[in-house]
Amino acid sequence: MTLKETGGPFRIWPKRQCSQIWIRYRWSVAQKVAFRRNIRYGKKVRNKDGNNAFMIIALVNNKGGVAKTTCAVNLSAALAKPARRVLLVDLDSQGSASFSLGITRADLRPSAADVLLDGMPIHKAIRHTAVEGLDVVTGSMELANADLVLADTRGRENRLKDALTPIRENYGFIIVDCPPSLSLLPINALVAADTFIVPVTPHYLALEGLVNLLEAIERMRQGFGMVASLLGFVLTMVDYRTRAATEIVEMIRSQYKTAVFRAEIRVNVRLTEAPSFGRTILDYASSSTGAEAYRSLAAEVLLRCRKEGKK
């Protein structure tokens, strides 16, 4: 018996798009309208001269193990070019994105913790990487105390937004890698961002968490005045050798349609090896299926952002 025959991961998700989220959480009409409005491509951003400005993209998921950091690092590398600089901001206290770019534990400071917790100007924490056009603000263990340190700070949800403002137009894209939670750091990322991407694996528990994530983000939008919109869902760690993965991918695409990127990040041994060498997949194995997948994802991200800029 297949997952579809038993109800599988979508036994609580009827075919009608988004309806189960509304039923499960008893959303109001206004909340439904807001949710529909934000399951779309990222919003348009313009600078003071009226030209299309640059995009801040947060990668968020409150569930760990969905290849969020791998996605942040390799998407940043795929977008980076000499004429289009990219800044990767590592907000995870584990510093995995920083390690993936060859930065050692001893060299993590100054980090995002110094910027967000101590008020250091962000340009002092930015450093170049081996990838041409890619800079990084590292993560560090001090970020684990962010909720406690900033508990009594007024406007604490705007710390990252305020820090990025002076250097925003220096970069074509700013990619923010968030920790796997919905604590103060991901809230800062969503408040600062123009749009966000949700990496999701084709597993049952990841789908259950996705429902909770979308509902929580909508509540944040109302509570913090967030303006970030959904750029898309990216399927990661896809393994078509299993029937369950095939069926769940089909269900996700049926449920969210064009909100799901066409590019899929399949299970690939090179993707797991690259961080141990402090290199991106594009540098470590440029002809691998993982590298091709991230090039395709980067092309889609560019296309979606450009479409919004023309509206």
- Give the separation between CA 159 and CA 254, rounded to whole angstroms: 38
* Sign of the CA dihedral with 263 first, then 267, 270, and 275 last: positive
Q: What is the mean pLDDT of residues 199-208?
A: 86
* Sign of the CA dihedral with 183 first, then 187, 190, and 192 last: negative
Q: Is pLDDT at 42 greater than 60 in this prediction?
A: no
Q: What is the mean pLDDT of residues 92-119?
A: 95
Tens of pLDDT, residue by residue over 157-180, are 999 999 999 999 999 999 999 999
Average pLDDT of the chain, as a whole number: 84
248 vs 44: which has the higher pLDDT? 248
- Give the separation between CA 262 and CA 258, rounded to whole angstroms: 8
For residue 308, the model assigns a pLDDT of 63
AA identity, residue 265: I
- Give the separation between CA 135 and CA 160, rounded to whole angstroms: 17
Q: Is pLDDT at 117 greater than 50 in this prediction?
A: yes
For residue 9, the model assigns a pLDDT of 38
For residue 309, the model assigns a pLDDT of 56
- Give the separation between CA 213 and CA 206, rounded to whole angstroms: 10
For residue 225, the model assigns a pLDDT of 72
Question: Which residues 6+ apart lie within 8 Å of 310 measured at CB?
Answer: none
pTM beyond 0.85: the answer is no
Contact 184, 146 (CB under 8 A): yes
> DSSP state, 81?
B
Q: What is the mean pLDDT of residues 77-94?
A: 94
**The pairing of beta strand 229-238 with beta strand 260-266:** parallel
Share of the chain above pLDDT 90, in %: 65
Query: At which residue do the structure tokens 């007024």 appear?
Result: 154
Distances (CA, A) of 190 to 5, 56, 197: 38, 9, 10
Q: Is pLDDT at 23 greater than 80 in this prediction?
A: no
Domains of the chain, first to last? 54-309 (3.40.50.300)
Q: Is pLDDT at 46 greater than 60 in this prediction?
A: no
- Give the separation between CA 173 and CA 134, rounded to whole angstroms: 10
> Facing residues of 260 across strands?
233
